[in-house]
Structure 1
Amino acid sequence: MTDSAEAPLSAPDLRYGIPGLPPGPSSPMIEAMLAHRSYRNFLDRPLEPGALETIVAAASSAPSSSNMQTWSVVAVEDPAWKDRLATLAGNQGFIRQAPLFLCWIADLSRLDRMGQAHQQQLAGLDYLESFMVALVDAALASQNALLAAQSIGLGGVYVGALRNRPPEVAAELALPPRAFAAFGLAVGWPDTEARAEVKPRLPQSLVLHRETYGTAGEEAAVAAYDRVLAGFSEANGMGRADWTGRMLKRVAGPESLSGRHTMAETLRAMGFPLK
């Protein structure tokens, strides 16, 4: 992080935690995207009427592979329902606190029902590619939804822990076979009294490749990012933990996957053959 005597970082530089990004074009949308942060503290305030429908309309405006639209979203507002989902998703309290919890579904079931209605077997749905399309569709739609929510003053945080116990989540949401709750999104009015800062991301030298993939300078760039993220974490009361240590621990083995190491078998049991 920068010294307090230094000039504040621009929005693009703030995204990386260090100055030096070449100047480029900007717009209100770009500024809003660069200012993204995850909010885990929400006010006790309901969403405006029509906000949910507007957010979903923005989600529906995302690109979709071959216009297949293999996603759905379950909007959960009932406190008891949110409580049960929070328990299944690692007992994360902000799910209970948020006025809206969106469960994003990789959904091949709609096409499956269409095939049944037309007496046509859709063998293409059995393949891993179709499931990947559904996951991508759900992710694109959800990102549009979050940007829309942010544009009207709301905040949110994604919840990957919805995948910790897929069969139980599917039962709570009454999902049919071939429908999978890929992740959640807690949405609400951010509590501005609670600290929520822009978390620095990996430098562009690690993620932006030109013409071909390159690894030159990777070790030094990761080490520099470790210092930036450790400073950010320390400043936000999370201890001086660097990115490398966190990632190596995160994928060290099946025990670090929060029960998701059996995901392939779980998905097959939920109607996805994944051929």
Structure 2
Amino acid sequence: MNETIRTIQNHRSIRSFLDKEIDDVIIDEILRAAQSMPNSINGQQSSVIVIKDKETKAKIAQLAGGQKWVEDAPVFLLFVLDFYKTNLAAEKNGLTQVIHESVEGTMAGTFDAGLSMGAAIIAAESLNLGIVPIGGVRKNPGEIIKLLNLPPYTYPAVGLAVGYPKDESHKKPRLPFSTFRHNEVYHTEEMKEAIDQYDMEMEDYLKEVGRQQEGNWSKYTSGIYQNVYYPDVYPTMKDQKFLNDK
């Protein structure tokens, strides 16, 4: 195993950061890694907003559901689904962009933003920084859009709090590898047994970290997935011209 793979496999989310700034040169190195990721048709339909201002971070922390680590991290990165740039390209050529109105466009752009964030995570962790992804930027997306002046054809996909770790958090166990790797076709056999096994492992982990009230993986996940937990995403996507009707 090489150092890159070791770094990836040692990932854990960090929610406690030192009061230590991150040099802009380091931030640029992380973002250049993110920008280097593959993307659909070379459309490059993602962007990143770098946020250091304490008041802005505090506001985002509140909008994301009271996630204090967003405020505490020296840098917050917002990964943006960005068809504004490609729309300008269409206008330059006298054409009308349609892709942003489709589910395919949303999927392609969101996946590209995810690839970029994955690279940013690996780059940051390789530099001994800690990170935690923040899906909560979609909890009050309209406010995030206004706060960060996002133009039409863009949307806040996910955030990333970045900083020097105050301490090393516990490494969260994953589902058995057999539920992730499927050979040739999707295999449903033994999936229930694998989930049962993982639930027992997660019960031990949650007790260890003082979160036993969550129960286990299946109880916690299914409890959340009974509802659309960020219901403002769909209407605000439409406001940003992502109609998702094609």
AA partner of residue 269 (structure 1): D
- Residue 13 (structure 1) aligns with: none
User: Which residue, out of 114, 121, 129, partners 1:139?
Assistant: 114
User: Which residue pairs with 1:150 in the alignment?
Assistant: 125
CA distance in 1, matches of 2:217, 2:135: 19
Letter in 1 for 2:102: Y
User: How do 1:18-167 and structure 2 match up within 5 A?
Assistant: 26-167=1-142
1:270 to 224, 240, 243: 240
Q: Which amino acid aligns with 1:117?
A: K
CA distance in 1, matches of 2:194, 2:60: 39
Q: Which runs of 5+ in 1 are unaligned?
A: 1-25
Take 1:65 and 1:44, find their aligned partners in 2: how far apart are those partners?
A: 38
Shift of 1:262: 4.3
Equivalent-residue separation in structure 2 for 1:124 and 1:239 (angstroms):
45
How far did 1:29 drift?
Answer: 0.9
2:199 aligned counterpart, secondary structure: helix
Paired position in structure 2 for 1:182: 157
Structure 1 residue 133: Cα displacement: 0.8
| Maintained 8 Å contact 1:108/1:131 | no
**Counterpart of 2:231 in 1: which secondary structure?**
helix
Aligned residue for 2:166, secondary structure, equals coil
Residue by residue over 1:21-66, the C-alpha shift from the partner in whole angstroms, topping out at 9 and shown as x without a partner, is xxxxx11111111100000000000012401111110001111112
Is residue 253 from structure 1 mapped to residue 227 from structure 2 by the alignment?
A: yes
What's the secondary structure of 1:114's corresponding residue?
helix
Residue 197 (1) aligns with residue 170 (2): yes
Q: Per-residue displacement from partner, 1:139-166 (whole Å, max 9, x unpaired)?
A: 0001101110111110100000100011
Q: Is the 8 A contact 2:141 2:232 kept in 1?
A: no
| Gap runs ≥5 in structure 2 | none
Q: CA deviation at 1:80?
A: 0.7
Amino acid at match of 2:198: Y
Question: Corresponding residue for 1:4?
Answer: none
3-state SS of the aligned residue for 2:184?
Answer: coil
- Paired with 1:182 and 1:225, the residues of 2 have a C-alpha distance of 29
Q: Is the 8 A contact 1:73 1:105 kept in 2?
A: yes
How far, CA to CA, are the matches of 1:107 and 1:49 in structure 2?
23
**Are the counterparts in 2 of residues 169 and 181 from structure 1 also a CA contact under 8 Å?**
yes
Larger radius of gyration: 1
SS at match of 1:66: helix
Q: Please say if residues 140 and 232 of structure 2, whose CA atoms lie closer than 8 Å, have aligned partners that are also in contact.
A: no
Aligned letter for 1:250?
A: I
Calculate the aligned-residue CA RMSD, in Å: 1.2
Count residues with an aligned counterpart. 244
Give me the whole-angstrom Cα distance separating, in 1, the residues matched to 2:242 and 2:222. 30
Letter in 1 for 2:133: Y
Secondary structure class of the residue paired with 1:180? strand
The percent identity for this pair of structures is 31
Question: CA–CA distance in 1 between the matches of 2:64 and 2:221?
Answer: 21
Question: Which secondary structure state, in structure 2, belongs to the residue aligned with residue 75 of structure 1?
Answer: strand
Post-superposition Cα deviations, 1:48-100, rounded to whole Å, max 9, x if no partner, equal 24011111100011111121110000000000111111111111101110000
SS at match of 1:158: strand
Match of 1:237 among 199, 210, 218: 210
